[in-house]
Amino acid sequence: MLKKPHSQQAKDILVAKGEDWRDKTHFRSALGFAWADWLLVVPLVISGSIGVILGHAWGYVLWGAAGSISLYINIVLWFMEKEYVYPSRGALAYYTYYWGFFVYWGALALTYSAMRLSGIEL
């Protein structure tokens, strides 16, 4: 998406196979969310993972931040894209690969971080 946002491959993955962007707003929101992932979420996950591996509380804070951002962005996408992506990909792919994984990961990262920061160890 970031490398070739107007390519058919990006459209096939994000919209539906053989389909085009609905309008400029659809394209811009998809591109904006893709950049947000790389500029905000990925560095939080990487630096948070380093903190967690080193056993520091700030690692869990960063994981919680990444989880909440991921949860927010992907719940919005989950509802925004359902009308278009769901019919072309089916329930399994839609609720796992497309948006589900990121919603589940965000919820788990946020929950696990909150538990660890409150002193609960698993």
Residues 67-88: tens digit of each pLDDT: 999 888 888 888 877 777 777 7
Quote the percentage of the chain above a pLDDT of 70. 93
Return d(Cα 88, Cα 16) in angstroms, integer.
Answer: 6
Q: What is the mean pLDDT of the chain?
A: 85
Q: Residue 16: pLDDT above 70?
A: no
Rg (CA), the chain: 16
Q: Residue 107: pLDDT above 80?
A: yes
Query: Between these two residues, 65 and 24, which has the higher pLDDT value?
Result: 65
Question: Domain residues of the chain, as ranges?
Answer: 35-117
Q: What is the pTM of this model?
A: 0.78
